[in-house]
Amino acid sequence: MAETHHVTLADVARAAGVNPSTVSRVLNGRAPVRPDTRARIEAATRRLRYHPSRSARSLASARTWTVGVLLPDLANLMHTEFLRGAQRTLQARNFSLFICDGQLDPAVQEAELTRFLELRVEGLIVTRSFTLTGLLEPFVEAGIPVEPAELFEPDEGGPRDRRAGSLAAFRHLYALGHRDVAVFVHERADAPVRSREMRSRLESIARARDEHGVRGAVHVVPIGDPADCAPRLRALLAGDDAPTALIAGNDWMTAPLLGAVQELGLAIPEDVSIVAYGDSRWAAAYRPPLSVIRYDYHEEGETLASRLLVRLGEAADAAASARGLVPDEFLERGSTAVP
C-alpha cells in the first residue's frame, strides 16, 4: 500500500513544547491545564491536523466507546429506521456504531459477529437473535451486553408486543367478509418459519377468526425466493379455499408479494385484498395506497439503545424504563375491501 503518514500525539507535544501526557489531558478534557498551554496545544493540534488513533486510545484505556449493530438485511427499509433510532440514542452518549449488513446470510452474520468481538465492541444490538443463540454466547461470556430485538414475550405481555397490529388487521378482514386468507412468510435458511413471532401472529388470526365465527382457511405460505411467490399464489387461487385476502407476514415479504399479484394481473382490492407489513414512503405511494401493519422501528431502535446504555452504566435506569411498550398498529388504506 502507498505509505500513509499519520501525525502522532508525540508530534503535537513536540510542536507545542510540552510533555505528551499534557496533550493527552487536553484531548480528554481531563484535569486542569493552564489556559495558555491548552491554547498552544490546541493550535498545534489544528495546525498539524492531528487525529488521535482510536486503536492506541482504546488499547491504552480499555474502552472502545463502540456498539455493534447487526442488521439481518440492510436493504430492508425497516431495519434502516431501526438503525437510525439506535444511532441517535447512542451518539447522544458518545458511543459510535459499527454497522453490519447481514445480507440475509447466516455465514455473513457469523463472520461479522466475530469481527465485532475482535473490534471489542462494548455492546451489541441484534435483531432476529433467536437464529443466532449459539453465536451470541462468546459475547455473554466476555461480559458484553447483548440487546436483542424482536424477542418479545407475547405470553407475558412483554415490552415489545407485536400482536396488536395483526389482530386489528385480521379483525378488519373478517369484518369485511373475508373467509379464506393467506399469510406469506419469509422462510429463511437461518430461521424456522414458525418463529415465536410468527406463532403469535397466527394466534392473533385464530383469535380474530373465533371472534367473527369464521371457519375459513388460513394458508401459511413460506417463501424463500421471491420468484416462488407468483407460482405459489397461482396454485393457491386455483385450489380449494382460494384466499381472498393476502397478508405479508413480515417486511421483507411485501414487495415480492405485490410483484406476484401484479404478475397474475389481479386487481387490488377488487380481486384480492392486500395487507402489507411495514410502512414506508413506497407503501403509502403505492396504487392503491397499501393497508399496512405498521411498527415503529425507529422507536424500537431507541428503546434497545437506551436499555443497552443502562446496562453499560452510561444512563440512569429511568430513561430506559420510561420507554417500553411499542405496540404495532393497523393502518387501513386502499388495498383492503369487501371480497
Partner DNA sequence: CTGAAAGCGCTTACAG
Q: Which of 243, 249, 326, 332 is nearest to 283 (CA)?
A: 332
Please report how many Cα atoms fall inside a 13 Å half-sphere around the Cα of residue 279, on the Cβ side: 17
Going 240 to 182 to 188 to 128, the CA torsion angle's sign is negative
User: Which does residue 34 bind out of DNA, its own copies, none, counting CB within 5 to 8 angstroms by kind?
Assistant: DNA
User: Which does residue 150 bind out of its own copies, DNA, none, counting CB within 5 to 8 angstroms by kind?
Assistant: none
Q: Residue 214 and residue 280: Cα distance in Å, rounded?
A: 31
Q: Which of 121, 124, 116, 126 is nearest to 148 (CA)?
A: 126
Q: Which residues, other chains included, contact 191 with Cβ-Cβ below 8 Å and sequence gap of 6+? A: 128, 130, 131
Q: Which of residues 97-136 bind its own copies (CB under 8 A)?
A: 98-101, 103, 114-115, 117-120, 122
* Residue 234 makes contact with DNA by CB under 7 A: no
* Residue 103 makes contact with DNA by CB under 7 A: no
Cell of 189: 435458511
The answer to whether 149 touches 127, Cβ cutoff 8 Å, is: yes
Q: Which of residues 27-46 bind DNA (CB under 7 A)?
A: 27-28, 30-34, 37-38
* Residue 1 makes contact with DNA by CB under 7 A: no
Q: Taking the complex as a whole, how short is the minimal distance between the CB of residue 166 and its own copies, in angstroms? A: 22
The residue among 8 and 103 lying less far from DNA, judged by its C-beta, is: 8
Q: Which of residues 173-232 bind its own copies (CB under 8 A)?
A: 226
Q: Which residues, other chains included, contact 26 with Cβ-Cβ below 8 Å and sequence gap of 6+? A: 33, 37, 38, 41, 42
* Residue 34 makes contact with its own copies by CB under 8 A: no
The residue among 48 and 319 lying less far from DNA, judged by its C-beta, is: 48
* Residue 57 makes contact with DNA by CB under 7 A: yes
The answer to whether 87 touches 79, Cβ cutoff 8 Å, is: no
Q: Residue 82 and residue 299: Cα distance in Å, rounded?
A: 7
Q: Catalog residues that contact its own copies under the rule CB under 8 A.
A: 1-6, 49, 51-56, 58-59, 63-64, 74-75, 77, 80-81, 83-84, 87, 96, 98-101, 103, 114-115, 117-120, 122, 138, 141-145, 226, 255-256, 258-259, 262, 268, 280-282, 284-287, 289, 311-314
Q: Catalog residues that contact DNA under the rule CB under 7 A.
A: 6-10, 17-25, 27-28, 30-34, 37-38, 50, 52-53, 56-57, 59-63
